[in-house]
Amino acid sequence: MKSDLLSNIYNPADLRLLNETQLPQLAKELRDFIIDIVSVKEGHLGASLGVVELTIALHYVFNTPEDLLVWDVGHQAYGHKILTERRENFDTNRQINGISGFPKRSESVYDTFGVGHSSTSISAALGMAIASHIKGDFNKQHIAVIGDASIASGMAFEGLNHAGVTDANLLVILNDNAIGIDPSVGALKQYLTAVKEGKNPKKNNMIKSLNFDYSGPIDGHDLPALIKELNRLKKIKGPKFLHIVTTKGKGLQQAEENQVKYHAPGKFDALTGELQLKSEENLPPKYQDVFGLTILDLAKKNEKIIGITPAMPSGSSLKFMMDELPDRAFDVGIAEQHAVTLSAGMATQGMIVYCNIYSTFLQRAYDQVIHDVALQNLPVIFCLDRAGLVGEDGATHHGVFDIAYLRAIPNMIIYAPINEIALQNILYTAQLGLNHPIAIRYPRGRGVLPNWEVENFGHYDKIKIGQANCLKKGNRIAVLSTGTIGNNVIEALNECSNSDAIAHYDFPFIKPLDNNTLNDVFTHFETIITIEDGTVNGGFGSAVLDFAAAHNFKNNIKILGIPDEFIEHGTVSQLQQLCKIDVKSLINLFSNDVK
């Protein structure tokens, strides 16, 4: 009879009742469980498969949740969630009203720190360890698991630098799999590879030089070795560093062989690993591909064009340029601050730099945007992929704050294209020469023009900076939209019986605003509705309110967008409905307002 260990484990206390010889069987069951659920429900796959043995060993050796375990890059933590009282509802992972795809303090006492972005674990765990010392608790263990290339980020080094001069009871575990979403890059990756291959002299160990008790590298899939080493380290006081080597996607052949594709593969066959391919015939392009193909085309014609991304070459589609023009397109690793200032440095030398960073990750480089780019008025072109609601990754990843946090910065131009043509035209316009930095924000997913590449690719029109467009005339209400959410307005107006009364204006430039068009709108319409896929606090609608106040207009103004709260996970359409900016909500609003 087949053993079934996982179904009897509710939390780590149950896990610790097992004999150590049973743990390899549990590892197989845990892997199969993750594969079975993710193959149907989708989500992150490879990272969690790679740390199954480590997850079991950590909860087996340490007394969680009393001992504090912090995961870095939270998509490693599926196995952790399953072993910590969430096995029975793991099938709701990343779904609306279900559990989060990342560790989340409000979800479980075992999730000691919320993690969605990278490289935070060492600082957080060190903070916990120092707090324990201050409170007189010298026995509590504090473990930071850092992996998926996040050790290369500057913040990780800031944490290591501080920890090395403390007596904090901190264990840093490097899950070294040589890949984030894309393969790791940089000198640190080369150093770690030399360590793994035994080519680096022990006296050159950089972690030891930072005053850590270093051990490893050891096989991260060898459970007895892991447990033995963790038990040894548990007895050592002060900062410790364990280097383990794992394979991302371990246990599913296709995921091991194609680690980029199986990072978050969508639906697949749990037995064979074969992806369920969706037909892309007659579908609009992804906005990331519009960026990637356009910048490659422009770069072939303009030798000053440079592309930079912090660890997202595939996700941003900069990989097209990296493959064809490798000397002018750079993946700098998980290092957003460096990416921005590197771009600024190149811009001082006359380079035309497209710095492609997901909206939520540009938050990590806010000072560099202000101090290194805008203050010096350098014409860096920020391409903010994944702007707006991103869906199942939830609150840590929604790109809903960029309009508000960039609007406050002098010299910054902010542009949000309504469709693929507008995106390629602003990318073209920016390289003709701008007097200021510009942020171009566009969403995750597909556009609205199925034949974009056939009909429009390579044919560019120069865009006039600061100009809005009247898409539809009306006589009673003016709807002002910015970016791709304007397509919801177009669809809603097409279905409204009273749409003749409603005018629709596209404001791609959030900064500078088209004051002439705004003046005309406020003069002719009593009611004005603004809509954006960013936060209503400080966003596009706020800019319109500022204009009204400055010019003493008293019109009725209604602002639609993301409310002043963190939006959880779900599909984009579900979350738009939650925020009342979906097509159906707009139809109801327009119908009621024109009565």
Residues labelled catalytic: 248, 336, 364
Residue 44 tokens, joined: 């992150």
Q: Under a CB-based contact definition with an 8 Å cutoff, are residues 291 and 385 in contact? A: yes
Sign of the CA dihedral with 229 first, then 233, 234, and 235 last: positive
Q: Tell me the one-letter amino acid at 111.
A: D
β-strand partners of 172: 144, 241
- The two beta strands, 305-309 and 352-358, are parallel
Of 357, 463, 358, nearest to 415 (Cα)?
Answer: 463
Burial class for 516, CB neighbours closer than 10 Å (0-12, 13-18, 19+):
exposed
Q: Under a CB-based contact definition with an 8 Å cutoff, are residues 534 and 403 in contact? A: yes
CA-angle at 37, arms to 71 and 285, nearest 5°? 85
Q: What is the 3-state secondary structure (H, E, C) of 289-343?
A: HHHHHHHHHHHHHCCCEEEEECCCHHHHCCHHHHHHCHHHEEECCCCHHHHHHHH
Element (H, E) at 153: none
CA dist., res. 242 & res. 62, Å (int): 15
Of 403, 391, 416, nearest to 578 (Cα)?
Answer: 391
Q: What residues contact residue 210 under an 8 Å CB cut-off, 6+ apart?
A: 160, 161, 163, 164
Q: How far apart are the first and last CA of the chain?
A: 70
CA atoms within 13 A of residue 79's CA, in its CB half-sphere: 28
CB atoms within 10 A of CB 569: 25
| Residue linked to tokens 């791709």 | 484
| Dihedral angle over CA of 161, 166, 171, 172, nearest 10 | 0
DSSP SS3 for 535: strand
CA dist., res. 244 & res. 220, Å (int): 5
Give helix 23-41 / helix 52-61 axis angle, nearest 10°. Answer: 130
CA dist., res. 182 & res. 313, Å (int): 7
CB atoms within 10 A of CB 432: 12
CB contact burial 183-192 (16+ within 10 A = b; e otherwise) = ebbeebbeeb
